[in-house]
Amino acid sequence: MATAHLPIQKYKYYEHNGEPGCQGLDEVNRMFRNFWDPTAYWMCDKQGTRARFLRCPKSQLYSEELGRCVHYTEWRWTDPKEPPSRPQS
């Protein structure tokens, strides 16, 4: 019986979910990846407010690379990028 040898992929664990702080104008009207859930993303509507948690449509995942939701067959893993700011505690 033949067995396939698949490479073991090790992903870095992130202490936070990628929520941006929405503190700068460069974050407004921009989507940000949710580090823990590929079906979700964050959106800053207004500077100084909390980011909104949003979900992609059914069968889609958020592509940080493309800045939008894509069909799951088109999605590929990329290392998450830190948002410009983080929410203040």
What does the domain layout of the chain look like in residue ranges?
Answer: 25-71
Q: Average pLDDT for residues 65-71, to the nearest whole number?
A: 97
pLDDT at 15: 83
For residue 60, give the nearest of 72, 51, 47 by alpha carbon: 72
Q: Is the pLDDT of residue 63 over 90?
A: yes
The pLDDT value given to residue 88: 86
Name the band, by pLDDT with cuts 50, 70 and 90, for residue 3. low
Place 89 in a pLDDT band, splitting at 50, 70 and 90.
confident
Tell whether the model's pLDDT for residue 67 goes beyond 90. Answer: yes
* pTM more than 0.75: yes
CB proximity list for 28: less than 8 A, separation 6 or greater = 22, 44, 45, 46, 47
H-state helical runs in the chain: none
Handedness of CA 86, 64, 45, 57 (dihedral sign): negative
Q: Please report, rounded to a whole number, the percentage of residues in the chain having pLDDT higher than 70.
A: 84
* 42, 18 Cβ separation under 8 angstroms: yes
45, 46, 49, 55: CA torsion to nearest 10: 10
